[in-house]
Amino acid sequence: MQDVDVMSKIYDALIKLESKKRPRPRSTFSGIWRNDKVGSLKLWWTALSLESQIAVAIAAVVLVFGLLLVAIVNQLIGRALRTQIDQRAFMMATNLSDAAAGQVIARNTLELYALLTKYARLDGVAYAFIEDNNGEIVAHTFSTFPPEIRDTLTANERKQFYNREVRWKGKTIHETRTPILEGQIGAAHIGIWQESVTAEIRKTLLPLVALITMFFVAGVVLSVFLARGIIRWLTDMTGMVSSDDLDTSVKNRVME
């Protein structure tokens, strides 16, 4: 009998030791928070009436559709505005190259500096400069011409239009280059601040996005009220039909 008790105690001790060695499942904070959040949403959803659930579902669909539409409009109009700004910069550089052609040929440096200063004062312009057909800077609006602005092009490339992005003073600049007299005597350069382009696009887009958002918020509110009204009407109709059926059943039984 004592041997059986001893064996039983040994067996219990081994079981306890084995249970201590087994790793216990750990619950991370994110997992617990996620489960609590999902559970709270389920409780909130089940606590709603059928009428409220349908209204919330309709509002969610309209809201998602509205957000998608706002994102699409933002992308499309943003690209269109950026293209328009690039075209405006191209026209500015073209006008500068046409105005500077005679001054470059005559090597009238003072007139070139006055012309470049006029263009550099335009809204959003970071700098402007003129180079000859050998790539040498003839006139510019910098106090000292920065080396990061200088580009190395071949003779054929100097005769072409192009756009590029440069970094100056820690900011991004969109530069447009326009040949002067088809590149025979040089080219005109105009740099536009990226932050100026972004601000102009945002200034145009924000009122439009706000207007679309207001319409969709009004649509969400209206759809919720319509959905609740339709649901109440259907509920009332269902109750009337049920009452009529009950009255008919009772009359039939009385007549029998």
Summarize the confidence of residues 149-162 as an average pLDDT.
79
pLDDT at 140: 92
Alpha-carbon distance of 45 to 37, in angstroms, equals 12
Mean pLDDT along residues 14-32: 52
With a cut of 60, say whether residue 247 has pLDDT above it. no
Q: Are 127 and 101 within 8 A, CB to CB?
A: no
Whether the predicted pLDDT of 33 surpasses 70 = no
Kindly report the CATH number that applies to the domain delimited by 87-202.
3.30.450.20
Residue 188, beta-bridge partner list: 130, 178
| 103 in Cβ contact with 118 (< 8 Å) | no
What's 91-151 look like in SS3? HHHHHHHHHHHHHHHHCCHHHHHHHHHHHHCCCCEEEEEEECCCCCEEEECCCCCCCCCCC
Question: What is the distance between the alpha carbons of residues 154 and 132, in angstroms, rounded to a whole number?
Answer: 13
Contacts of 41 (CB under 8 A, 6+ apart): none
Q: 165-208: per-residue pLDDT in tens?
A: 899 888 999 999 999 988 888 899 999 998 988 888 888 888 88
Domain boundaries, the chain: 87-202
Sign of the Cα torsion 33, 36, 42, 45 reads negative
Q: Is 53 exposed, middle or buried (0-12, 13-18, 19+ CB in 10 A)?
A: middle
For tokens 């319409």, the residue is: 215
CA atoms within 13 A on the CB side of 186: 24
Per-residue confidence at 251, pLDDT binned at 50, 70, 90?
A: very low
Q: Print burial letters for 60-80: b (CB count within 10 Å at least 16), e (below 16).
A: eebeeebeeebeeebeeeeee
Which of the four pLDDT bands, split at 50, 70 and 90, describes residue 253? very low
* Lowest mean pLDDT segment, chosen from 57-61, 86-90, 94-98: 57-61
From 78-82, 126-130, 251-255, the region with the lowest mean pLDDT = 251-255
User: Span 150-173, mean pLDDT?
Assistant: 83
